[in-house]
Structure 1
Amino acid sequence: MSTPHRNTRRQAKPIRKQLHPRNRHNQGYDFPILAKSYPPLARHVKENAHGNLSIEFADPLAVKALNAAILEHDYSITGWDIPEGALCPPIPGRVDYIHYIAELLGVDAPTAKHRHSQPGITLLDIGTGASGIYPLLACQIYGWHCVGSDINAQSLENVAAIIGLNPTLKDRFTLRMQQDKHRIFDGIIQAGEWFDVSVCNPPFHASQDEALKSSQLKLGNLARNRGAATSASTTLNFGGLGAELWCNGGENLFLKKLIKESQMFAAQCRWFTSLVSKIDNVKPARKLIHKLGATDIREIEMKQGNKVTRILAWTFI
């Protein structure tokens, strides 16, 4: 399959997404270079209504191919893949989280010469999912040591396969199974262990039905904006690993559990952090954190286009 080369000049035009200043994706995607680095992406790259090269973002296979290309070309991660139905994370937003966490920890921006200059930093990812995306990026951008936890064995098996294809990750990224679905840190953080930071992208829906409706609405909007049809197979292609998208009580209840349990491990983690997608959940979460005796609480806004996501960070130290 040939690699598309048209409109490379227009493709290189900066796309102002308001990403973190350290984020290498502030200039948008160079699709010809990405497709050359990862040939399976080429068949998904087409000219859009504005005359620029792009992909159909309502097509999960196209998005997965784009992710694999970005991870291959920009972060030297080979063979990234996820099972059918797993959550396919948009890379630029995940990269933003890691950069904001680095700032929170006082870590300098990485350079080509000192790309892995902070190997002493340890990160715990709660619910790493089938993509393992946050530890993968933290390892490759900053050289941190990471632990990814999950309640889903299939997810962990998939991440283990990715690690196995990338020898540089084997000593820096380890996986742990959470045996009790009602626990978060308990059973994962071991006695005498220390983490500089924990990260989490909570399941934000309260039920599978709610997650399905949200997915259909989102993909339908994407298709309409691009003048394309959205098939049932596309909108339903998300639910195989439900824990990534929904849990009883949704994001609000999950945050309460996360915050309460963090107090139990207050002396073993410098900063606890979590994404909060629904603004209505921020105030009660902050109130609970304060009630439990945190010494510092931070609310960090991440912007990508018109979308605003928040990182809530707290420490008891």
Structure 2
Amino acid sequence: MSTLHRTKKQAKPVRKNLHPRNIHNQGYDFPALVKSHPALAPHVKPNAHGNLSIDFADPLAVKTFNAALLNRYYNVVDWDIPEGALCPPIPGRADYMHYVADLPGLENPNIKMLDIGTGANGVYPLLACQIYGWQCVGSDINIPSLENVAKIIAHNPALKDRITLRTQHDKNHIFEGIIQTGEFFDVSVCNPPFHASLDEALKGSQLKLNNLARSRGEQKANTQSPTLNFGGLGAELWCKGGEQLFLKKLIKESQLYATQCRWFTSLVSKADNVKPAKKLIRKLGAVDIREIEMEQGNKVTRVLAWTFI
């Protein structure tokens, strides 16, 4: 704590690239975060510019930072994930929820959302419930991941009646076995696995670590065996065919549930995958397709949204 008190109060630059409703537009109030989540204190130090920050290449620091953000700004307590699980940046995930909420027909609070591949973090249902009061279903093929989300929900009684978890038992299906007969969702969200193999995921992590090192004025990340600094179990980070093939399956199967979901959406991390995805969506008869660009710092990603209704 002494480091926090000795450091000058840092200016909070406006991050105009985040959604206007994103509470993280003003940067991070680290002293306030530490106050609400003391476990963050050992990870907060002045960076090269003299501003308080954390080491974003340190998996434990990132996880603790996320827990602090969820605690202070979204009233989610005791959030935790198993070692190696995907640890998503909360401000970016909140951006996705805000942009989804802007889609036509999602203006009222009685919205039901389906999260495809909710992972061990359950972040989209948590944010959708706490920001907009939506009802959510989180699905995943990994049972231990769902068990971890169930544990988070158990520690947050207000979420008990708002989030339902379902297991996908067939790796060849996405919506089938999850969307029930006669059920209707206002929107589905998804963060697809974006690598085609473990090796590709590790190379991507090494590149990310090198970029973080350069931003700190270092030449290269010093690691012989790159770790996934934002984590990621098998199905969370890679699948056969990578993001492109997953999107193709997602889009094709969405047509079969065209009358049971108003808007289908997905993050698309690789720009080259947008054009073929939109072409397939048009071919399958969608009546509205939207490409929403999101900027978070130096990273640009997209939300692809389509509807058959």
Counterpart of 1:273 in 2: which secondary structure? strand
1:240-286 CA distance string (max 9 Å, x none): 61110000000000000000000000000000000111111111000
1:79-109 CA distance string (max 9 Å, x none): 001111111100110000000011114555x
CA contact (8 A) 1:203 1:244 kept: yes
Identity %: 76
Superposition map of 1:37-186 within 5 A: 37-107=36-106, 118=109, 120-186=110-176
Question: 1:113 corresponds to which residue?
Answer: none
Structure 1 unaligned regions, length at least 5: 109-116
Counterpart of 2:266 in 1: which secondary structure? strand
Question: 2:21 corresponds to which residue?
Answer: 22
Question: 2:5 corresponds to which residue?
Answer: 5
Counterpart of 2:188 in 1: which secondary structure? strand
- Tell me the amino acid that sits aligned with residue 99 of structure 1: H
**Whole-angstrom distance in 1 between the partners of 2:232 and 2:291:** 32
CA contact (8 A) 2:138 2:164 kept: yes
**Whole-angstrom distance in 1 between the partners of 2:84 and 2:277:** 30
**Whole-angstrom distance in 2 between the partners of 1:162 and 1:303:** 29
**Whole-angstrom distance in 2 between the partners of 1:3 and 1:168:** 36
- Tell me the amino acid that sits aligned with residue 242 of structure 1: G
**Whole-angstrom distance in 1 between the partners of 2:5 and 2:276:** 50
**Whole-angstrom distance in 2 between the partners of 1:223 and 1:263:** 44
Counterpart of 1:88 in 2: which secondary structure? coil
- Tell me the amino acid that sits aligned with residue 64 of structure 2: A
Aligned counterpart for 2:293 among listed residues 301, 304, 307: 301
**Whole-angstrom distance in 2 between the partners of 1:104 and 1:291:** 22
Counterpart of 2:294 in 1: which secondary structure? strand
1:111-155 CA distance string (max 9 Å, x none): xxxxxx71x200000000110000100000000000000000111
**How far does residue 236 in structure 1 lie from its aligned partner after superposition?**
5.0
Counterpart of 1:290 in 2: which secondary structure? helix
Superposition map of 1:187-226 within 5 A: 187-226=177-216
Counterpart of 1:4 in 2: which secondary structure? helix
**Whole-angstrom distance in 2 between the partners of 1:234 and 1:57:** 14
What RMSD in Å do the two structures reach over aligned CA positions? 1.7
Aligned counterpart for 1:257 among listed residues 234, 249, 258: 249
Question: 1:277 corresponds to which residue?
Answer: 269
1:293-314 CA distance string (max 9 Å, x none): 1111111111112211111100
- Tell me the amino acid that sits aligned with residue 13 of structure 1: K
CA contact (8 A) 2:118 2:124 kept: yes
Distance 1:121 1:238, change over 3 A: closer
The number of residues matched between the two structures is 307
- Tell me the amino acid that sits aligned with residue 82 of structure 1: I
Distance 1:34 1:126, change over 3 A: same
So what's the TM-score if we normalise by structure 1? 0.92
- Tell me the amino acid that sits aligned with residue 249 of structure 1: G
CA contact (8 A) 2:106 2:186 kept: no
- Tell me the amino acid that sits aligned with residue 5 of structure 2: H
**Whole-angstrom distance in 1 between the partners of 2:96 and 2:230:** 23
CA contact (8 A) 2:120 2:144 kept: yes
Superposition map of 1:225-236 within 5 A: 225-227=215-217, 230-232=222-224, 235-236=227-228
Distance 1:129 1:142, change over 3 A: same
Counterpart of 1:18 in 2: which secondary structure? coil
- Tell me the amino acid that sits aligned with residue 273 of structure 1: T
Pair 1:34 & 2:24 matched: no
CA contact (8 A) 2:202 2:226 kept: no
- Tell me the amino acid that sits aligned with residue 275 of structure 1: L
**Whole-angstrom distance in 2 between the partners of 1:178 and 1:156:** 10
**Whole-angstrom distance in 1 between the partners of 2:250 and 2:3:** 46
Distance 1:197 1:29, change over 3 A: same
**Whole-angstrom distance in 1 between the partners of 2:25 and 2:176:** 38
